[in-house]
A and B are shown apart, each in its own frame.
Chain A
């Protein structure tokens, strides 16, 4: 913990925003406004009280920084006040720099709120905060024990501490994987191969907390076979369809809405079809299938193998031919139906990068200082100049794809940091600063353009460390406010008086159900398939018929294990697996109850089969980017009422019910279920209703059903 000892300063540098925030402090904090604190040497500091812990008082100055001051250094009168004051909602931060950066975000939000005359929401209760932060950072509700520990903790630093604990836990990796596997359309089955290496490569990147720009750079520039280099999975996902792949790349990573321009000039944005092809030309020499090698592999085998064997060998060869490599020839040409005057069908076009109008450069807005703005503009100009120079370099054959990737993932790119910052914001606030996240072409139309620009600058400052960025967002007052209760109309601006009410994502809901069923064991099981798959499928050099036969034999058994294609009619939820007994500590096998595999969504097939809870609840089928859905439907409600998941939770072996059953007295039992499902104690009238229901013949299992089917469980406030 980096806590600086205090520096007493009377004059605090005020940014114009800070001044604004002061005069508009929300009325509910009147007992805890900024005041002047004095120490025994008669030095003074103007600051807000954040709490007392271990004999220190924590005071936040106007610039957002939080100072730790030994309590007995204060004049006795101020010591008394410090002991009496209720700690301000956020409490004591873990890191004064984070607190300062968080306060800065709050200022920018407050500025937007004020401009529209919107009052911010009150700070969320510990119960609301606890449930929300677990769902946002580790993708599941807290266990009963986690909730009780948090609520019982009386220290003022508990919010910051729980954020740090969650950010650094396994659950954070699962949550991030679920987000990115939807964004990137990660599917086990694509191009007649299993994309296990891609999935596990990505998981390892998150696990290592590799900076986002580096991860994306690797995805764009990967070479080699799918089964040897998981990073190649991004380009191989769209084998032979480089235009489609580029269209997804531009909207996903840069928020450039150019999908239309793939086939015709964009009807109402500035992108032209020619521009699209100029961008595609960077990928013109990138090939995603190794035809030559696959042909070679089959030479000599045709005569020696039976037709049936040959068919299976072809599958093997196809998997091995999935490979990214450079050719010497640019294959991108204007399409046959090209109808504009600036080119002819079949012509190739020069490599050229898109630009956004300077007017939409919202990253300049929070800078204030003209010099800083100029510096930013200079870095933008320099980026394009560097690309120009790389392209014009004689004989310096740099792969155009690498040039593109450097430009795209550069901190100076006008859209790359902004896009991921906007996406991460949406992950925890439920709505992005600029919607949709795939279209930032007119970034200045964002609800709060300065906030969008500021978040992009913060992403750059934090060097694309997503863990640090999420930590920052969760430490803001804006995040820790109550969710909006008013209707948020799609398409209407939202200024973030607090987070929005959200239905859990499919993955959050499923992982929460697993948590209810098995508790903290939820993160024990890890799915590992890539190593085995690669060992089975990998073909190197020339092979003989007998070697191939041995390979095919090995394939048979192993592939059955990996599961076939998703066929309707079979009940996807019933697996031939024995229920695990309670003491199972084998981390190589998931828990199973009533035939349901109780593992995190990230450790199950990607995506799950259609009739699985995850899919019925909106998990993306991974055909379209960002396709996870939070919408209800009749089949979904039928599943919630009568499906396997409610049945598992009503099973006396499920942890939630077993724990409730163990409590003595009806009230304790009801309370146990409430804490497990809702992260809070039941209110008096709820207790009464539940007791009446139990008295009238209903069981705790029935109460489990009721809580599971309630909106309060499915929605995050």
Chain B
């Protein structure tokens, strides 16, 4: 068998070389270089397509457990309606009655009601909606924040390029190095974990000075890349701790009136922290909200979860708009699948990947627009079927990434943003 390297076509071989170079020279990236020939032919006009690069930032709201489409973004009137009646939104479309505040923001919202997935199991489904790839035992795939850091470069000199709130990063860096992993913030009120130690600033300085001195001979002896990057991580961490950027993590600095608008709960506060972070230069923030697996008494559960979601997302849209950030920030609301149109014997709905809905706002998307539809009962996609891969490609495109650009993993496997999905250009204004 010949070397796999020799079998690559010239284009991917070049990507491979780039990949190796980047892996070898640490975190910083060369500016994104356009590849000659083929790429121009294929995607020469990608920059001119609607929506490209409009979303400088993304706030990705991940509903965990399978959010019912009928009880949120795709209300029905017949047998499958559920307990809540729909409300007319300012965008002209109907929303479930559990989301009255969001209805007032409808003119800034795009809904996709024709989402579909093949995965009806939580863990595997969450993996796909988060990465666009099927879960495998041999490789892990990056989230969009990591892709962007790779393709577009870091979004800030000291702050991380991506953060995840109320959840673990779950190898969100995929096959990229750990430097691409989203920084986890498990408690929005507490901010950055371990940001404070028990040593005074003066003592910390003394310790660091001694550390720097005593470790110097070891650091100088080896020209190891990982050793060097450790030293860089210490430098970056200290920079982060000593500059004003640390403020990005502190919700305490927000007026309590503003904080209460988002709702005094982990999700609401997480959304507010997300806004603070993107304001300071973090590109991609994921906020997770669990508890959507409503097999029993969905009405009661939606009263609870729906209100939290409604309050936080509507506050986020208004807040971003007031700060002039909505046009450059894309808000995404999604879940691993929808829930069955038929209400089960326990008043709940079960897993349903066949059709479900997602929401987009800001970042160059249309307001008051609905893309695709489900049938009358919410059972099948009726129009403009949209896969999770299409959805990811669309968001990736909005972030300014060429979804046809092939990036090789270290194991030499070719991957693209959104796993070869199609960009839904209709959603862009």
Taking Cβ atoms with an 8 Å cutoff, the residues of A that contact B are: 185, 238, 244-245, 247-248, 251, 257, 259-260, 267-270, 307, 356-357, 359-360, 436, 438-439, 441-442, 445, 483, 485-491, 500-501, 503, 566, 568-569, 610-611, 618, 621, 623-625, 627, 629-639, 641-643, 647, 683, 686, 689-690, 693, 696-698, 702-703, 705-707, 709-712, 714-715, 717
Residue B3, interface by CB 8 Å: yes
B266 and A569 contact, CB distance less than 8 A: yes
- With contacts A503-B230, A569-B166, A710-B218 known, is A259 near B20, CB below 8 A? no
Chain B, Cβ-Cβ closest to A709: B211
Contacts of A686 in B (CB 8 A): 214
Given the complex of chains A and B, what is the CA–CA distance between A629 and B181 in angstroms? Answer: 12
Given the complex of chains A and B, what is the CA–CA distance between A438 and B20 in angstroms? Answer: 18
What is the minimal beta-carbon distance from B325 to any residue of chain A, in angstroms?
A: 25
What's the tally of chain B residues with a CB closer than 8 Å to chain A? 71
A621 and B240 contact, CB distance less than 8 A: no
Contacts of B192 in A (CB 8 A): 638
In chain B, positions 181-197 with a C-beta closer than 8 Å to chain A are 181, 183-184, 186-187, 192-197
Given the complex of chains A and B, what is the CA–CA distance between A359 and B288 in angstroms? Answer: 52
B138 and A634 contact, CB distance less than 8 A: no
Given the complex of chains A and B, what is the CA–CA distance between A438 and B409 in angstroms? Answer: 14
Contacts of B4 in A (CB 8 A): 268-269, 441-442
Given the complex of chains A and B, what is the CA–CA distance between A248 and B139 in angstroms? Answer: 10
What is the minimal beta-carbon distance from A569 to any residue of chain B, in angstroms?
A: 5
Which one, A618, A638, A702, A703, contacts B193 given CB within 8 A?
Answer: A638
Which one, B7, B136, B223, B234, contacts A637 given CB within 8 A?
Answer: B234
Contacts of B410 in A (CB 8 A): 436, 490
Residue B265, interface by CB 8 Å: no
Chain A, Cβ-Cβ closest to B23: A490
Residue B106, interface by CB 8 Å: no
Which one, A503, A625, A641, contacts B194 given CB within 8 A?
Answer: A641
Which one, A257, A360, A621, A707, contacts B411 given CB within 8 A?
Answer: A257
Chain B, Cβ-Cβ closest to A445: B3
B1 and A356 contact, CB distance less than 8 A: yes
B179 and A711 contact, CB distance less than 8 A: no
Contacts of B411 in A (CB 8 A): 257, 436, 438-439
Chain B, Cβ-Cβ closest to A190: B123
Residue B171, interface by CB 8 Å: yes
Given the complex of chains A and B, what is the CA–CA distance between A668 and B187 in angstroms? Answer: 44
Given the complex of chains A and B, what is the CA–CA distance between A715 and B178 in angstroms? Answer: 17
Contacts of B211 in A (CB 8 A): 706, 709-710
B194 and A647 contact, CB distance less than 8 A: no
Binds A, one of B202-210, B311-319, B363-371: B202-210
A568 and B184 contact, CB distance less than 8 A: yes
Given the complex of chains A and B, what is the CA–CA distance between A639 and B237 in angstroms? Answer: 11
B240 and A238 contact, CB distance less than 8 A: no
- With contacts A357-B1, A436-B411 known, is A247 near B222, CB below 8 A? no
A706 and B210 contact, CB distance less than 8 A: yes
Residue B137, interface by CB 8 Å: yes
B140 and A623 contact, CB distance less than 8 A: yes
B230 and A185 contact, CB distance less than 8 A: no
18 A–B pairs (Cβ distance < 8 Å), ordered by A: A244-B137, A248-B137, A257-B411, A259-B136, A259-B139, A267-B7, A441-B1, A566-B168, A569-B166, A611-B193, A623-B135, A624-B137, A634-B237, A639-B194, A642-B197, A642-B198, A706-B207, A715-B227
- With contacts A491-B24, A623-B140, A712-B215 known, is A634 near B230, CB below 8 A? no
B138 and A690 contact, CB distance less than 8 A: no
Contacts of A486 in B (CB 8 A): 223
- With contacts A486-B223, A633-B178, A637-B234 known, is A642 near B195, CB below 8 A? yes
Which one, B20, B171, B186, B219, contacts A490 given CB within 8 A?
Answer: B20
Q: A259-B136, A268-B4, A702-B206 are in contact. List 19 more A-B contacts (CB 8 A).
A: A247-B137, A248-B137, A251-B138, A269-B4, A269-B7, A485-B221, A485-B222, A491-B24, A501-B224, A503-B230, A568-B168, A621-B170, A623-B140, A627-B171, A686-B214, A705-B199, A710-B215, A711-B215, A711-B219
What is the minimal beta-carbon distance from A203 to any residue of chain B, in angstroms?
A: 22
A268 and B20 contact, CB distance less than 8 A: no
Which one, A485, A501, A641, contacts B197 given CB within 8 A?
Answer: A641
Contacts of A705 in B (CB 8 A): 199, 207
Contacts of A697 in B (CB 8 A): 206
In chain B, positions 1-59 with a C-beta closer than 8 Å to chain A are 1-4, 7-8, 20, 23-24
Contacts of A698 in B (CB 8 A): 203, 206-207, 210
Given the complex of chains A and B, what is the CA–CA distance between A711 and B223 in angstroms? Answer: 13
B195 and A569 contact, CB distance less than 8 A: no
Chain A, Cβ-Cβ closest to B168: A610
B1 and A487 contact, CB distance less than 8 A: no
What is the minimal beta-carbon distance from B125 to any residue of chain A, in angstroms?
A: 15
Chain A, Cβ-Cβ closest to B169: A610
A624 and B139 contact, CB distance less than 8 A: yes
Residue B213, interface by CB 8 Å: yes
Chain B, Cβ-Cβ closest to A482: B221
Residue B156, interface by CB 8 Å: no
In chain B, positions 136-195 with a C-beta closer than 8 Å to chain A are 136-140, 160, 166-168, 170-171, 177-179, 181, 183-184, 186-187, 192-195
| Residue in B166, B181, B194 whose Cβ sees the most chain A Cβ within 10 Å | B194
B214 and A611 contact, CB distance less than 8 A: no
A625 and B1 contact, CB distance less than 8 A: no
- With contacts A637-B237, A693-B210, A712-B218 known, is A647 near B198, CB below 8 A? yes
Given the complex of chains A and B, what is the CA–CA distance between A635 and B169 in angstroms? Answer: 11
What is the minimal beta-carbon distance from A55 to any residue of chain B, in angstroms?
A: 41
Contacts of B92 in A (CB 8 A): none
Chain A, Cβ-Cβ closest to B221: A485
Which one, A359, A483, A569, contacts B187 given CB within 8 A?
Answer: A569
Given the complex of chains A and B, what is the CA–CA distance between A568 and B346 in angstroms? Answer: 29
Given the complex of chains A and B, what is the CA–CA distance between A488 and B228 in angstroms? Answer: 12
Which one, A260, A630, A717, contacts B222 given CB within 8 A?
Answer: A717
Closest 4 A-B residue pairs measured CB to CB? A631-B178, A642-B197, A268-B7, A638-B194
Which one, A257, A491, A632, A712, contacts B229 given CB within 8 A?
Answer: A632
Contacts of B166 in A (CB 8 A): 568-569
Which one, B138, B178, B207, B346, contacts A624 given CB within 8 A?
Answer: B138
B20 and A636 contact, CB distance less than 8 A: no
- With contacts A238-B137, A706-B207 known, is A634 near B233, CB below 8 A? yes
B222 and A635 contact, CB distance less than 8 A: no
What is the minimal beta-carbon distance from A485 to any residue of chain B, in angstroms?
A: 5
What is the minimal beta-carbon distance from A500 to any residue of chain B, in angstroms?
A: 8
Chain B, Cβ-Cβ closest to A629: B178
| Residue in A489, A618, A642 whose Cβ sees the most chain B Cβ within 10 Å | A642
Given the complex of chains A and B, what is the CA–CA distance between A641 and B192 in angstroms? Answer: 13
B184 and A635 contact, CB distance less than 8 A: yes
Given the complex of chains A and B, what is the CA–CA distance between A631 and B410 in angstroms? Answer: 15
B215 and A489 contact, CB distance less than 8 A: no
B193 and A442 contact, CB distance less than 8 A: no
A270 and B1 contact, CB distance less than 8 A: yes
Which one, B140, B214, B224, contacts A706 given CB within 8 A?
Answer: B214
Chain B, Cβ-Cβ closest to A488: B224
Given the complex of chains A and B, what is the CA–CA distance between A36 and B81 in angstroms? Answer: 97
Contacts of B177 in A (CB 8 A): 631
Residue B88, interface by CB 8 Å: no
B231 and A491 contact, CB distance less than 8 A: no
| Residue in B199, B207, B214 whose Cβ sees the most chain A Cβ within 10 Å | B214
A711 and B230 contact, CB distance less than 8 A: yes
B24 and A489 contact, CB distance less than 8 A: yes
